[in-house]
Amino acid sequence: MSAADLDARDPLAGIRAEFDLDPAVSYLDGNSLGAPPRRVADRLDDVIRKQWAGRLIQAWDDGWWDAPERIGDRIGPLIGAAAGQTVVCDSTSVNLFKALAAAVRLQPGRDEILVDARTFPSDGYIADGLAGFTGHTVRRVDPVDMPAAASERTAAAVVNHVDYVTGRLHDMPAITDGLHAVGALAVWDLCHSVGVLPIQLDGCGVDFAVGCTYKFLNGGPGAPAFIYVARKWLDRFEHPLTGWAGHRDPFAMSSDYTGSAGIGRARAGTPDILAMSAVDAALDIWDLVSIEDVRAKGLALGDFFFECLDELLPSASVLTPRDPARGHQVSVAGTAAQLKALAGRGIIGDFRPPNVLRFGLAPLYTRYVDVERAVHGLVSVQTG
């Protein structure tokens, strides 16, 4: 079937109109920065003109102060988290620091942290940075080998749900169970899976998770991230960034810190209301679509990408698995110069060293014609 026919039959095709995208551009980098939902601009206008200008500081009592928990609970259904376990705040890196610090604190006598050897570098840097304070040994292990590598020495393991380079999807239930079998805690990084595939954090018994909102959740550049703390750990969740926003009674201005009783204790400082309002507005799109439909289209876009490559560029070296154990991207070997040449043709992907071209497939706005154009573009930049 042609790309145009596939687009014509796509039940999600109409959702693209929710985004401010140039039809002439094939935007295939939603796995790095999502596209702008039109409703975000309207919401920010409202927050600035009506809430900030209209209510001034009184707006904190009109829903600003509680926005991190409220918006966290809107992300909850996308990650299989019942209410009260997810809060939106800080960056993924900062939230990972909090989650990992709390995890090792829960595991006295265990002296090792495992880190996904193929993770986005920041996760490894954070683990190393924390270990510099706690004295833990950090060992880098492929997620597939984590259950076998973990032992009674392992306090916690940081695992990516979807590998940011290849798009490989890791088996959350099996890896989590494997870690738990030796008493290690599981900390999942959902940056590349949230908003593209169904996730069951509660169902898998995951201990902690972090993720960003600026990729497939389209919250905008630098949008705040989220952190999930499983209900079973909420009472004992202790992290070192004990700022006033996580205090049980922040406006009492007590000189002693007592953490909030719930997920609020994962907060540290004042919430960035403008950025958070953008995330909130972007999440409205999930009132129109289901994650199951998004997942089905994401896999279909990937299958179509592989078909086009087989037909037009069989010599391509494809890094992304063809089976459904993948997220929503297709990665092929290539160069930074090729990426630049593609951008000159209106095809936007990204390059990750040393030799990977990544093409993100965001089912809310990616069209089959975008995939077809990307493969035609790859053919022309490979053949000169």
Ligand X SMILES: Nc1c(O)cccc1C(=O)C[C@H](N)C(=O)O
SS3 166: coil
Report the nearest approach of ligand PLP to the CB of residue 201 (Å): 16
Tokens of 78: 């996308």
Report the nearest approach of ligand X to the CB of residue 214 (Å): 6
The verdict on whether 171 is a catalytic residue reads: no
SS3 131: helix
The verdict on whether 214 is a catalytic residue reads: yes
**Over the Cα atoms of the chain, what is R_g?**
21
Residue 122 touching ligand PLP (CB under 6 A): yes
* Binding mask of the shown chain, residues 178 to 217, with x at each position contacting ligand PLP by CB under 6 A: -----------x-xx-------------------x-----
CA-to-CA separations, 21 to 28, 30, 35, 37, 132, in angstroms, rounded:
12, 12, 7, 9, 44
Q: Could you tell me which of 197, 216, 198 has the C-alpha nearest to residue 360? A: 216
From the centroid of its chain, how far is CA 167?
A: 13
Report the nearest approach of ligand X to the CB of residue 328 (Å): 12
Interaction residues for ligand PLP, span 214-233 (CB under 6 A): 225
Report the nearest approach of ligand PLP to the CB of residue 192 (Å): 6
Q: How, if at all, do strands 226-229 and 86-88 pair? A: antiparallel
Catalytic choice (19, 120, 237, 305)? 120
Catalytic choice (208, 214, 365, 368)? 214
Residue 93 or 134: the one with the smaller Cβ distance to ligand PLP is: 93
The verdict on whether 326 is a catalytic residue reads: no
Interaction residues for ligand PLP, span 141-160 (CB under 6 A): 160
- Looking at residue 90, what DSSP letter applies? S
247 binds, among ligand X, ligand PLP, none (CB under 5 to 8 A by kind): none
Catalytic choice (98, 215, 265, 326)? 215
Residue 27 touching ligand PLP (CB under 6 A): no
Residue 242 touching ligand PLP (CB under 6 A): no
Residue 216 or 368: the one with the smaller Cβ distance to ligand PLP is: 216
Report the nearest approach of ligand X to the CB of residue 274 (Å): 17
The verdict on whether 120 is a catalytic residue reads: yes
From the centroid of its chain, how far is CA 90?
A: 13
Interaction residues for ligand PLP, span 71-110 (CB under 6 A): 91-93
The verdict on whether 98 is a catalytic residue reads: no
Contact between residue 359 and residue 167 where contact means Cβ atoms under 8 Å apart: no
Task: Name the residue type at position 24.
Answer: A
Contact between residue 172 and residue 207 where contact means Cβ atoms under 8 Å apart: no
Q: Could you tell me which of 306, 315, 291 has the C-alpha nearest to residue 359? A: 306
Report the nearest approach of ligand PLP to the CB of residue 124 (Å): 10
The residue of the chain with the least Cβ separation from ligand X equals 164
CB neighbour burial string for 215-239, b if at least 16 within 10 angstroms, e if fewer: bbbbbbeebbbbbbbbeebbeebeb
The residues assigned a catalytic role are 120, 189, 214-215, 358
The binding site for ligand PLP (CB under 6 A) comprises 91-93, 120, 122-123, 160, 164, 189, 191-192, 212, 225
